[in-house]
Amino acid sequence: MDSKQLLGRRIKGLRQARGLSQATLAEKVGMSPKYLSSIERGKENPTLDTFIRLSAALGVELAELFQYEHERSPKELKQFISSVLKDPDETKLGLAVRALKAIYE
């Protein structure tokens, strides 16, 4: 799953968690429900202004829209970790080890 799809899934999850329909959120943001649907499916490249309006309408900080790693399925996460371990960049691998140690120690 690419970043646009993960971001779209994140926006959809935030919308649903707030009990908003696509039509309601789209109206709050000033866009068509069809365009919002395309964003949620990862088919569009919204502008920064659109992200700012979405975050305001959803009641979250702008950065929260981009916190979507947890939107990946366990299978996708395992595949990602496996791909990193197959051809590791030493610097990134070192950072990953430090992050895991911070979480699990």
Cβ atoms of 49 and 41 within 8 Å: the answer is no
Give start-end residues of each CATH 1.10.260.40 domain in the chain: 3-70
Query: 54-69, pLDDT tens digit by residue?
Result: 999 999 999 999 887 7
Task: Between 104 and 51, name the one with better pLDDT.
Answer: 51
Closest among 87, 84, 78, 79 to 96, alpha carbons compared: 84
Q: Does domain 3-70 have CATH number 1.10.260.40?
A: yes
What are the C-alpha distances in Å from 86 to residues 4, 73, 82?
25, 20, 6
pLDDT band at 1 (very low <50, low <70, confident <90, very high): low
At a CB cut-off of 8 Å and minimum separation 6, what does 89 contact?
Answer: none
Query: 4-52, pLDDT tens digit by residue?
Result: 998 999 999 999 999 999 999 999 999 999 999 999 999 999 999 999 9
What are the C-alpha distances in Å from 87 to residues 34, 44, 81?
40, 31, 11
Judge whether residue 95 has pLDDT over 90: no
88 CA to centre of own chain: 24
Judge whether residue 71 has pLDDT over 70: no
pTM for the whole structure: 0.67
- 13 burial via Cβ count (<10 Å: 0-12, 13-18, 19+): middle
